[in-house]
Amino acid sequence: MRAVVLVGGFGTRLRPLTYTTPKQMLPIIHRPMIEHVLEHLAQHGITHAVLSMGYRPDAFVDAYPDGVCAGVQLHYAIEDEPLDTAGAIRFAALDAGIDERFVVVNGDVLTDLDLNALIDFHEAHGAEGSIALHRVDDPSAFGVVPTDADGRVEAFVEKPPRDEAPTDLINAGTYVLEPSVIGRIASDRKVSIERETFPAMVDDSSLYAMDGDTYWIDTGTPVKYLQSQVDMLRGRRGAPVDGVHDSAEVDPTSTVDLSVVGREVIVGPGASVRRSILLPGARVGEGAVVERAILGPGSEVGKGARVDDFAVLGDRASVGAGLRVSGGSVSVDEHLTAERLGGS
């Protein structure tokens, strides 16, 4: 069985980090996110995957020139223009010559879902398509999926108001599909699988869904991108991992707590880094504080400065000595100085 991995989005919610880097190539504990996704597929017997690509496909091709990632053989399906979720699945499947049952996953979701259990569920129900579900406190930002007692999907409600959601079970972005689903998707326009293809399958009683009590996180926002890595540091997904890269320079008088300190990062004397992500080449000056923040590659926080409250610094951005950035973002190559801010 092969998998289609959706990696074509622009990653707008993670800007400025994604102005130059596709979000699936952003690191999760020193390795690109896509490697974690494909490693999970490989653990469940998937040996070949099609990357459905649009934005910056060169970043993937350059990173894996031999066409292998995490032990999975890759096929690159590059869209000329955005086709939305169903359109991207159709294009990728046809481009790779898929004509049998296949798996679809979102490339920005990290999960411990038992994929083999979903495949067995799909087979047992004779389904045309099967969706993995996940329970959340607030389903209003997701596709909500009520089912009958047998798992047949009764409706597919995309992003309902919180007080109107028929269930707290959401579409977790992992599907098992029969090749007949490809034939349902129009070839001459954008098609959303959530808003068009799945509702049509509900009408035909051919769509099923499996409730799964498992770890699941959509890493597509700064808060969730950060949380996904703190979860790994704390051991929420297996044994706790060490977040400090071997090549990083962390001054012994500094404090680093529940943070990822990437390749060739420098943390200066007396600095404090807590619940933060410092991407490769970032620098934290003497006495600076970085708390619940993400520092992009090559960015810099000056002496005595503070960056917090889920602020994001873009590539090579800098915050001058003594300044504070709380929330929001500093764009790629942008330099904040006291003079620029009117001496404040």
User: What does the DSSP assignment read for 45-97?
Assistant: T--EEEEEE-S-HHHHHHH-TTSEETTEEEEEEE-SS--HHHHHHHHHHHHTT
The answer to the question of residue 309 being in a domain is yes
159 has catalytic annotation: yes
The answer to the question of residue 109 being in a domain is yes
88 and 27, same structural domain? Answer: yes
Extended beta strands in 127-263, E state: 129-135, 143-144, 157-158, 169-177, 207-211, 216-218, 249-250, 255-257, 260-261
81 pLDDT tier (thresholds 50, 70, 90): confident
CATH for 138: 3.90.550.10
User: DSSP secondary structure string, 289-337?
Assistant: EEES-EE-TT-EE-TT-EEETT-EE-TT-EE-TT-EEESSEE-TT-EE-
Mean pLDDT within 221-231: 96
Mean pLDDT within 302-320: 96
213 and 269, same structural domain? Answer: no
55 pLDDT tier (thresholds 50, 70, 90): confident
Residue 60 clears pLDDT 70, i.e. is over it: yes
Mean pLDDT within 244-261: 97
Mean pLDDT within 194-209: 94
- The rounded distance, in Å, linking the Cα atoms of 227 and 173 is 19
342 pLDDT tier (thresholds 50, 70, 90): very low
150 and 269, same structural domain? Answer: no
Residues sharing a CB contact under 8 Å with residue 141, sequence separation 6 or more, in sequence order = 159
330 and 211, same structural domain? Answer: no
The answer to the question of residue 237 being in a domain is no
- The rounded distance, in Å, linking the Cα atoms of 256 and 249 is 12
pLDDT of residue 343: 44
Over pLDDT 90: what percentage of the chain?
79
Mean pLDDT within 85-109: 95
240 with 257: CB under 8 angstroms?
A: no
pLDDT of residue 340: 56
Beta pairing partners, 70: none
pLDDT of residue 339: 61
163 pLDDT tier (thresholds 50, 70, 90): confident
